[in-house]
Amino acid sequence: MKEGPLRLQALAEQMFLDKSTASRVVATLERKGYVSRVEDPEARRAVQVQATEAGVDLYERIRACLIAEEKAMISCLPPEVRQGALTLLRQLTRAAQVRCGLATECCPAQPQEK
Distance in angstroms (rounded) separating the CA atoms of residues 106 and 109: 10
Residues 21-49 have pLDDT tens digits of 999 999 999 999 999 999 988 887 889 99
pTM above 0.75, yes or no: no
Phi, psi of 108 (to 5 degrees): -60, 155
- Taking residues 97-102, report their average pLDDT: 87
Q: Which helix (H) or strand (E) holds 39?
A: strand 35-40
Sign of CA dihedral 58, 1, 48, 94: negative
Quick one: pLDDT at residue 112?
A: 54
- The domain spans of the chain are 8-51, 55-99
